[in-house]
Structure 1
Amino acid sequence: MNITKIIQLLSDTGILGIVIFLFVAWFNRINPAVKTKIASNKSANQREVLGLLDNLASNVVHLLSAYYEMPGDEKREKAIANVTSQLNGLGHDVDPAIISAAIEKAYQLMTTQDTVAQVKQAQFDEALADTEQAFADKQAQLDKQAATVPAEPAPLNVPEKTATTEGDAK
């Protein structure tokens, strides 16, 4: 009985209409606006994290480009691990596939530029290839010599009688 009296009082004073109007307005206008605001904040945060990811990937790729003796696959794994740990340290959890793509993007961007590290890497790779070829040639020469060595060397031709020289034992 009390509830019906309260509803009747609200209806008589017009407050019930205002409450219904606010309720409908909430679901039609205010709630979607709040949801849009939350979504835009989320996308702004995502853009910020992706910008940070690009910067970190670029820094790591440039740093690792100076490790001339490290193979490319190892550099890639180290770069992904480094960027992942930095992002996790900052409280961001990013999919490793996205991190890998950012590393590749930074690498492709760096390779289009003529950097000192690229010149030195090319010199290192060329010197390494030359050294490996020299070792392969020397090994082939040693293998050839080993194959042509006679089984038993010929005896020395020493005369039976030789004159002794000073310092020889008598």
Structure 2
Amino acid sequence: MLDVVNPEVDHLSVIDEAQRRWRVDDYDDGDEVWCVLDTELDRDLAERMLSTAGGEVQLGLSTPCFDFWLLLHHKEHRAPFQSAREVEKAVKCALPGWSKGSTRFADFEAGVDDACRRARAIDPKGNDHMRNPSTSVWRLVESIRESGDGQHPL
């Protein structure tokens, strides 16, 4: 089951809601609950998110933000970013016409394997959450691929 929720709340509330769903919803063996979140270059926030998630919820964290994951679909990048806004500008340079509010999978689909490879090269275990830049979203993609029936677009 794939349930995507984009709540308008803070990071820790997102994780709390994911844990609540894990406890009360009817999941099959092997199902996982994931939260994809930004660290926002805030070490304390990242540590609180990891602590709150515990073992029930998997985290796909991106530093400084999720847009870095999108950038990796189109190009290699290892230099640190000063802000999430800087990452957004880099994505716009790699994909003219892109904007946060109009992100379409079709614009990134062909680069999923490249993004996974590039992200894994930066953070091979997916746990160096404050490395700037980095993203562990590749772990979610890998999990979907391993659990799927080959019918997904990833």
| TM-score (norm. length: structure 1) | 0.20
- Between the two structures, name the one with larger relative contact order (CA 8 Å, sep ≥ 6): 2
Please identify which structure carries the higher strand content.
2
Structure with the greater alpha carbon radius of gyration:
1
Please identify which structure carries the higher helix content.
1
